[in-house]
Structure formats: C-alpha cells, structure tokens
C-alpha cells in the first residue's frame, strides 16, 4: 500500500490528519482515497489513530469556529436585559445543541449587527429569502454558557408555552427586558376613529402564549410608573392554544413611550420610528 501513492500524497494526507486535524475520510478526499486507504497510510507512517471519543471532541471544537463572550449573559445590564427580552419573544434555543438563533426582517438587519457587537459574537449575520418570498436576516451562534445562563431566566428550548417572567433579573432592568420583548412580539398602531374623523389614536400592544408574562408587565407598569392596568385578553383560534394580548390606549401608550426608551438603549429603530411619528401626529387626549 505504501508504494501505491506518491510521497507527496502521503505527506499531504498525514499533514491533513495530524496538523489540520481533519478526519480520516476528509484527509484523503482530494485524492479520492477511502477511509481504509487513509488508515493504512497513517498506520504505515507510525501515526496513532484517534479514538472515537477523541474524534468527537475534536469535531465539536472545530464546529465552534468562533469565540464568543461566553460570560455576557452572566452580568446583568440594560443591554443584556434587552437582548434577553428580544430572544424570549423572537429567538430560538436549540434543544439538542448549544446554538441560539435570532431572525428578523431584512429591513431590521441593523439590530442583529448591534446585538452581534454587543454580545461579542464572532459570526456573520446572514441574509436569505424564504420560500414564501420574505427577505430575512439571521444571527446564529453556539455557546453552552449562553444557553445555560438564558435558561435561568426561563429562556429555554421550546419556550413558547413555558416562558415565565424574568423575576431573577434585577428590577431596574425589567423595563429593558420589556422593550426587547416588545420589539420582538409587540406592535404600535394608529387606530382610526369609527366615524372617520380626526387622526385616530395610538395603541400599544403586546402578545404572548403565556398569560403570566403579560400579567407581570401590566403589574410592573402600574406599580413602577403609574400606568393604568389593562385586562389580559384571550384569543382562541380553532384547534390551537390560546394567545394572550394586552392593549393600551393613547394616553397610556404615551406614558409607556416616555419610560421605554433612552438615548443609550438598544431598540428596533423601525418600530421606534413608528412610535415617534405617532407621538407627533396624534395630539394628546
């Protein structure tokens, strides 16, 4: 077997396996070599073959191509709370992997770039178009510590129906979490008057599959900022679990606007711009 291949091929296969940490099949792929042929070349060269466990460990290390700030979600801050809120509303935590994914409309790509920079994620934001023709941007990264830390705040795989209020988060950061959740699963609208007159009214709305989270937000708004309480509405669609919604009137929406944003805070620029315009367009009642 040793004489079947040139020394150049043998040296390249060995370099791939030993120095570039490729698997056996990958080490000989460019030369059309089978796993068995590569194994023979390595044995003839006196190179110890990796055990299955060693191969798995090496493959896992290689799959994490970038270094993240693994302790980011261990230290509470306004931006950390905002990003958690956004992930809680619009992110995905893999069950069998340590990956975290956030996807937004392409027009909101800038937010993903800001999150990437803030967290210290060394992957690129990727753009794609869905089969339905929607232009999207996505940020996917892998970090076991991030996954573990997020779980402490009820942000877990398949979180939709088990998400709970982040009561372990310091109260001073609750408003940042809510802003993040609003940017992921909320809306701000101009509700036209039924008689067609005037410029309408502002409605701030938030939805969730867990009523407890919305109850927490309503109570916090009232206790912390004196914003009048609203009822949590229930929407039930055929053969589906209920969806819970809170809606605030123009006056309350203006109160929310004043506490939701600060100059240094992270926020979804497009949604804030809509809010800004409505605050200017519609006179206070």
153's CB contacts (< 8 A; 6+ apart) are 84, 88, 166, 168, 169
Q: What is the pLDDT of residues 118-147, one digit of tens each?
A: 999 989 999 999 999 999 999 999 999 999
C-beta separation of 39 from 70 below 8 A: no
Answer whether residue 155 shows pLDDT above 70: yes
Decide if 112 contacts 104 (C-beta within 8 A). yes
* SS3 (DSSP) at 1: coil
Residue 256: per-residue pLDDT: 97
Whether 3 shows a pLDDT value over 60: the answer reads: no
Residue 88 has pLDDT above 90, yes or no: yes
What pLDDT is attached to residue 147?
A: 96
pLDDT for the residue numbered 197 = 65
Is 17 a residue whose pLDDT tops 50? yes
Higher pLDDT pick, 16 / 275: 275
| Pairing mode of beta strands 91-93, 243-248 | unpaired
Distance CA 152, CA 28 (A): 45
Query: What pLDDT sits at residue 229?
Result: 97
What distance in Å separates the CA atoms of residue 81 and residue 179, rounded to the nearest whole number?
9
Residue 277 token pair: 């315009």
Q: Please list, residue by residue across 235-260, b when 16 or more beta carbons sit within 10 angstroms of its beta carbon and e when fewer do.
A: eeeeeeeeebbbbbbbebbbbbbeeb
Planar angle of CA 241, 247, 251, nearest 5 degrees? 175
Q: What CA–CA distance (Å, rounded) separates 170 from 236? A: 33
Q: What angle do CA 117, 120, 124 make, to 5 degrees?
A: 65
Name residue 187's beta-bridge partners: 205
Q: What are phi and psi for residue 206, nearest 5 degrees?
A: -140, 140
Please give the average per-residue pLDDT across 31-57, as a whole number. Answer: 84
């Amino acid at each position: 077997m040793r004489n079947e291949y040139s020394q150049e091929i043998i040296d390249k296969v060995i370099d791939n396996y030993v120095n570039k940490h490729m698997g056996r099949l990958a080490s000989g792929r460019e030369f059309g070599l089978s796993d068995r042929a590569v194994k023979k070349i390595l044995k003839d060269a006196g190179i110890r073959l990796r055990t299955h466990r060693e191969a798995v460990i090496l493959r896992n290390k290689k799959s994490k191509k970038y270094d993240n700030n693994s302790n980011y979600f261990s230290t509470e801050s306004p931006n950390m709370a905002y990003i958690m809120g956004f992930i809680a509303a619009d992110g995905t935590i893999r069950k069998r992997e340590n990956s975290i994914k956030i996807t937004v409309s392409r027009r909101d790509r800038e937010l993903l770039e800001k999150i990437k920079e803030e967290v210290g994620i060394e992957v690129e934001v990727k753009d794609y178009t869905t089969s339905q023709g929607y232009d999207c941007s996505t940020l996917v990264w892998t970090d076991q510590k991030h996954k573990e830390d997020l779980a402490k705040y009820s942000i877990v795989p398949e979180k939709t129906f088990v998400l709970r209020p982040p009561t372990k988060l310091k109260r001073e950061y609750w408003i940042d979490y809510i802003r993040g959740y609003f940017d992921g699963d909320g809306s701000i609208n101009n509700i036209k008057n039924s008689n067609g007159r005037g410029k309408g009214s502002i409605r701030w709305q938030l939805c969730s599959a867990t009523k407890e989270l919305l109850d927490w937000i309503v109570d916090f708004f009232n206790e912390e900022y004196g914003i009048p309480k609203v009822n949590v509405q229930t929407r039930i669609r055929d053969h589906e679990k209920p969806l819970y919604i809170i809606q605030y009137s123009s006056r309350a929406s203006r109160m929310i606007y004043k506490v939701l944003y600060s100059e240094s805070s992270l926020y979804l620029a497009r949604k804030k711009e809509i809010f800004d315009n409505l605050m200017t367009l519609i006179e206070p009642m």
